[in-house]
Amino acid sequence: MKLVSDLVRKSHRIAKALLCLFLFLPLFAFGQSERFDIDIPEQDLKSALLKVSEVTGYSFSYSESVVPVSNRVKLSVKQATLKEILEKLLPSGIDFLLKEKEVILYKQRPLFDPNKRFTISGYVTEEGSNEALMGVHIYVKSIDGGTVSNAYGYYSLTLASDSQEIHFSYVGYQSRSLKLALVKDTLLSVELNESLNLNEVVISEHREEHITESAQSGRIELNPQDVKSIPALMGEKDVVKVVQQLPGVQSGSEGQSGFFVRGGNSGQNLIILDDAPVYYAFHALGFLSIFNGDAIRSIELNKGSFPARYGGRVASVLDINMKEGHRENFHGELGLGIMTSRVLLEGPIVKKKSSFIFSARRSYIDLLIRPFMSSNQSLDLQFHDLTGKINFDISEKDKLYLSIYSGRDKFGTGFTGENFNEKAGMLSGNTTATLRWNHVVNPKLFVNTAFIFSNFNTNFYDEMQVDDVGYKSDLNSGIRDISLKSDFDLFLNSRNRIRFGSQQIYHYFRPRVLNFESELSEYNRSILETFHSWEGALYVEDEWSKNKWKLNGGLRISYFVTGDNAYLYPEPRLSALYRPRESINLKLGYARMNQYIHQLSNTGLAIFSDLWVPSSDIIRPEYSDQVSFAVEKFWNSKGLSLQTEWYYKHSGRIVGYKEGANFIDALNPTQVQKTRWEENVQSGQGKSYGMEVMLKKSGQKYSGWVSYTWSKSLQQFSSINQGNWIFSPYDRRHNLSFVQVYKASKKFHISATWTYQTGRAVTLPKAEYFAMLHDPSGNYLQSPSSYGNFLPEFSTVNSFRMKDFHRLDISFQFIKKYKRIERLLELNIYNVYANKNPMFYAIESDFTSSDRTVRSFSLFPLPIPMFSYSLKF
């Protein structure tokens, strides 16, 4: 009964409230709907309010300390409601409340406080896959500025409390604009859609790409799609082959994947895969890089005004990041080529929280050659690599990544006869692993901490057995790194971004571990050369922008400790950008770089191992000082950009060989001392300067670039050429590249590259003579030289120019889609018009006369067709 009575009483009260509402609603509505004619000549606000009161019958209540009654106002309206009259009459910041026949005026509490600033932060990812997007332009019109997302897709902007419109844009993706009322710190993660038109390259018409671009000169970002579109040797998409088409980058011999930047050698390039250094980035004796183009997310080449966060090399930094894996669905790709096959799988572990990606590749050149070999001969030429990555979202502020790479090459020959057995070859391999932890300390501060492992090892073996006499020789060389680094990214405000961090590296060098065993005990050798070193750095860099200026200044303090030697050097960096017009950039940069470890290459053919050795009291750290000036012009509506850059670089304490030095005989036990690296190298200096031009086109059907480089590179060593300057080994005066992609339809693409380079400088013998060598007892000796007893007399170092190099490659892609499966048939033609580009030169002598002939040898004198077929699902 009590429950029923309570319900009755509550129902009665509700009914009374509804009755009152219906009774007084007409009165309230009257004040809102009644219309008035009013004419107020210019006068103070207090007098104007009295006039309104007379006309409408409403009285006004307010405090003169709150309402600016002395403001001059005027108003003339017809058939206006009281609300409309007051909205036009009252100044901003003053609001009103109607209560019966009274109008109460009060100071409006603002939604936005211009004195307060709040931070918008979050991640920019690809819609569907949740793959982080690096380098997304985030532009805010109200400040005519913005920022870019970092390597993990994170961004942060601190803005005044206001209604803000934020524009997100990224090449190849549909732009997105968002409006929000900024009244507190806001987490805003955004997904961008790939262009619906597969042939379309999205070109931004907004200024944000110029507002948020880098001040650094000599910095080029490559789209992984460019790698997939360009013709490739062996049918494999090669990152380094594309890098070779860029201005300022020279290639090595025919077919090689090595690259040389602004006069530097290959060991002066820092190649990074997911934060891990890669010491030898090539397969198949240097003809193909180790990077699987299907698994790459981003590619960035720095060759000019390096930011302070990079160090350890003096020529360039090639920074490559792997994909993270699709977080929504499982996908895969299978590829079959004439020489190699590959597979890629990716998908979620826990949807939207973690994912994986795995790729594998193997060559089967050995399987193709085997049927053509005789029963007593063998040739083993193969390589494989494995790449894997997993990631986890631990919380909104924490992410974990683990990425691993493992690759191995094998090249061996063998011969078996009656009472005779011989085999020789080389094994080499890379292994890298990176464990990374991303943590958002607060909306403005992002930190990445990485534990990194990298190992490179090469093994040469040579065995021979004749009856009961034989020998066995084994040479190992390698380097192993274990390092820890932390990088902090502070988005201070929309004009100021500060990066700082540190890195510690433990190096374990094995330049030579030699074992030689034979029945002749006097030749038996066992040599162990190892070194332990510590390398580290602290850095800070500040990127500041205002109006037409953007500056990036930084300082890196690096050190190196090995044995009793310790080095500590500052490395200042400065980049400046000035924009005289919206479509023109002027850039100026300076960078000091130090390099504490040195690469010693046996030959230019990469057949013999590269030795990595530390700085010492004999060979001190290398350094370089580089200045550059660049002019950039953009035609956004046409998708065109033109970049021209001039540079000058001086290098000090560079490492070179003494005349006559080589490591080819390292397996010869009689030459142990002569092949010690300390006894064969010396320090010198170098200088290089030049001009680089790049015209780039991005469009729906046509895309590509044309690059041209004019450069000169010189070196000087006290014991070579009487201390005079000589051309560096990879000095080329002219370098021209055309890279063109035409997407005729969704089903057919054609691309072509044409490269022209003037010949590089080499050293050739000008004479040779037969040497009769004897020991102290008068017995005849076989010369240990690779030339036997015919000893060469060389001309001036690097005084001979190889023939100019030029080559045309073409690729045809046939694409067919059926539901979720995409099939790609590709035909690549390497060296289309069969130009015989020289790989090396040799001197041929006729001993019956004094005639000597310089003969060039070409690796690919004929066109090479390559087919590949792939399935994506």
Tell me, yes or no, whether 95 and 129 share the same domain: no
- Which range of 450-459, 636-645, 789-798 scores highest in mean pLDDT? It is 450-459
User: Which residues pair with residue 347 across a beta bridge?
Assistant: 356
Residue with tokens 């800070």: 540
Quick: pLDDT tens for 372-430.
778 788 888 889 999 999 999 999 899 999 999 999 999 888 888 878 888 888 899 99
Residue 724 structure tokens: 């005079």
Read off the pLDDT of each residue in 437-442 and give the average, rounded to a whole number: 96
pLDDT for res 514:
78
182-187: long-range contacts, CB 8 A cutoff, minimum separation 24 = 182/112, 182/118, 182/120, 183/111, 183/112, 183/118, 184/118, 185/118, 185/119, 185/120, 185/121, 185/443, 186/118, 186/119, 186/120, 186/121, 187/121, 187/122, 187/396, 187/443
- Look at residue 5 and tell me whether its pLDDT is greater than 60: no
Read off the pLDDT of each residue in 697-703 and give the average, rounded to a whole number: 87
pLDDT for res 670:
53
**Are residues 558 and 517 in contact, defined by beta-carbon separation less than 8 angstroms?**
no
Q: DSSP 3-state assignment of 211?
A: helix
- Look at residue 788 and tell me whether its pLDDT is greater than 70: no
- Look at residue 608 and tell me whether its pLDDT is greater than 90: no
Q: Report how far apart, in Å, the C-alpha atoms of 86 and of each of 33, 39, 73, 399, 771 are.
A: 14, 13, 12, 55, 112
Tell me, yes or no, whether 4 and 81 share the same domain: no
Give the C-alpha separation, 749 to 730, whole Å.
34
Q: Does residue 349 fall inside a structural domain?
A: yes
pLDDT for res 288:
84
pLDDT for res 96:
87
Quick: pLDDT tens for 226-251.
788 888 777 778 888 899 999 999 88
Mean pLDDT of the chain: 84
Minimum mean pLDDT range among 18-27, 659-668, 685-694: 18-27
Q: Does residue 661 fall inside a structural domain?
A: yes
Give the C-alpha separation, 759 to 806, whole Å.
10
Quick: pLDDT tens for 172-223.
788 898 888 787 888 889 999 887 554 444 434 444 454 557 888 889 988 8
Top-confidence residue, 470 or 130: 130
Quick: pLDDT tens for 64-99.
888 888 888 888 888 889 888 888 888 877 888 888
Top-confidence residue, 377 or 50: 50
Top-confidence residue, 437 or 57: 437
User: Containing H/E element for 54?
Assistant: helix 45-56
Q: Which residues contact 165 (CB under 8 A, 6 or more apart)?
A: 140, 141, 142, 177, 178, 179
Q: Does residue 185 fall inside a structural domain?
A: yes
Top-confidence residue, 512 or 295: 295
Give the C-alpha separation, 536 to 137, whole Å.
33
Q: Does residue 574 fall inside a structural domain?
A: yes
Tell me, yes or no, whether 722 and 833 share the same domain: yes
Tell me, yes or no, whether 18 and 145 share the same domain: no
pLDDT for res 1:
41
Q: What is the C-alpha R_g of the chain?
A: 36
Read off the pLDDT of each residue in 814-823 and give the average, rounded to a whole number: 90
Q: DSSP 3-state assignment of 42?
A: strand
Q: Report how far apart, in Å, the C-alpha atoms of 401 and of each of 321, 393, 605 are.
A: 12, 9, 37
Q: Does residue 371 fall inside a structural domain?
A: yes
pLDDT for res 180:
80
Tell me, yes or no, whether 186 and 311 share the same domain: no
Tell me, yes or no, whether 558 and 424 share the same domain: yes
CATH of the domain at 50: 3.55.50.30
Tell me, yes or no, whether 671 and 753 share the same domain: yes
Taking Cα atoms as reference points, which of 164, 176, 162, 180 lies closest to residue 206? 176
Number of domains comprising the chain: 4
pLDDT for res 462:
86
Tell me, yes or no, whether 39 and 71 share the same domain: yes
pLDDT for res 839:
82
pLDDT for res 767:
66
pLDDT band at 847 (very low <50, low <70, confident <90, very high): low
Quick: pLDDT tens for 328-365.
999 999 999 888 899 999 999 999 899 999 999 999 88
Q: Does residue 621 fall inside a structural domain?
A: yes
Domain boundary among 50, 83, 107: 107
Domain boundary among 107, 125, 140: 107
pLDDT for res 569:
97
Tell me, yes or no, whether 562 and 621 share the same domain: yes
Domain boundary among 196, 216, 251: 196
Report angle CA 864, 868, 873 to the nearest 5 degrees: 165
Q: Does residue 692 fall inside a structural domain?
A: yes
Tell me, yes or no, whether 617 and 751 share the same domain: yes
Give the C-alpha separation, 855 to 765, whole Å.
12
The identity of residue 852, as a single letter, is R
Q: Report how far apart, in Å, the C-alpha atoms of 154 and of each of 140, 222, 448, 663 are.
A: 16, 20, 11, 48
Quick: pLDDT tens for 612-645.
999 988 889 999 999 999 999 999 888 899 999 9
pLDDT for res 208:
47
Q: What percent of the chain has pLDDT over 70?
A: 85
pLDDT for res 4:
38
CATH of the domain at 359: 2.40.170.20
pLDDT band at 501 (very low <50, low <70, confident <90, very high): very high
Give the C-alpha separation, 868 to 825, whole Å.
6
Q: DSSP 3-state assignment of 170?
A: coil
Give the C-alpha separation, 454 to 434, whole Å.
9
pLDDT for res 609:
60
- Look at residue 57 and tell me whether its pLDDT is greater than 80: yes
Tell me phi and psi for residue 335, to 5 degrees. -130, 135
Q: Does residue 67 fall inside a structural domain?
A: yes
Read off the pLDDT of each residue in 544-571 and give the average, rounded to a whole number: 94
Tell me, yes or no, whether 446 and 526 share the same domain: yes
Tell me, yes or no, whether 471 and 581 share the same domain: yes
Q: Which domain holds residue 78?
A: 34-107
Q: Work out the number of other CB atoms within 10 angstroms of the CB of residue 704.
A: 22
Q: Report how far apart, in Å, the C-alpha atoms of 95 and of each of 82, 108, 280 are.
A: 13, 5, 72
Quick: pLDDT tens for 105-158.
888 766 666 678 889 999 999 988 889 999 898 988 888 788 899 999 999 998
Taking Cα atoms as reference points, which of 322, 328, 260 lies closest to residue 296? 322
